[in-house]
């Protein structure tokens, strides 16, 4: 712990090894953020995500695939808005954005993303209450 500041655990769910490594590198210098990784597709998750365990969750998924969106919906219901979720995806379409807004994800990033954008998004998600107010504006900044 740095100067009495509480360590925050972040969970990354991704099958993209390059993205996972880049994310580990991005947060490795932080004394506050501790990153855990689950190398599974969002549809394969069972009991890995518990709201008490993490301050935020990064889910790398294909937002255009219905089964992945349904899996994310189940996760969001189980978390009951207690843990912010940042979605990272290769795919981008209006239907996916609409669903993610309805699910109240903390942020939605489209690959390729910069390390700075990912870190900024996670830090914003960790800031806690009030993040829901900005969800739509954050997501719509990515719309063409």
Range of the domain at 120: 8-140
pLDDT tens, 61-85? 999 899 999 999 999 998 888 899 9
Would you say residue 2 lies in a domain? no
pTM passes above 0.75: yes
Alpha-carbon span 127 to 129, nearest angstrom: 7
| Number of domains present in the structure of the chain | 1
In-domain check, residue 1: no
SS3 of 113, please?
A: coil
CATH number, domain with residue 81:
3.40.50.2300
Closest residue by Cα to residue 126 from 39, 58, 74 = 58
Domain annotation covers residue 23: yes
* Residues in the chain, total: 144
Q: What is the pLDDT of residues 120-139, one digit of tens each?
A: 999 999 987 554 444 444 44
> Do the domain assignments include residue 89?
yes
């Amino acid at each position: 712990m740095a100067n009495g500041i509480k360590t925050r655990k972040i969970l990354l769910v991704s099958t993209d090894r390059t993205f996972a490594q880049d994310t580990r590198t991005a947060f490795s210098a932080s004394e506050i953020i501790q990153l855990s990784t689950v190398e599974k597709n969002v549809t394969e998750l069972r009991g890995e995500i518990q709201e008490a365990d993490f301050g935020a969750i990064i889910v790398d998924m294909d937002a255009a695939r219905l089964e992945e969106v349904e899996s994310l919906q189940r996760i969001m219901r189980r978390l009951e808005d207690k843990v912010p979720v940042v979605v990272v995806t290769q795919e981008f379409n209006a239907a996916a954005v609409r669903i993610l807004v309805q699910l109240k994800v903390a942020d939605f990033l489209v690959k390729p993303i910069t390390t700075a954008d990912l870190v900024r998004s996670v830090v914003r998600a960790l800031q806690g209450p009030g993040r829901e107010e900005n969800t739509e504006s954050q997501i719509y900044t990515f719309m063409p």
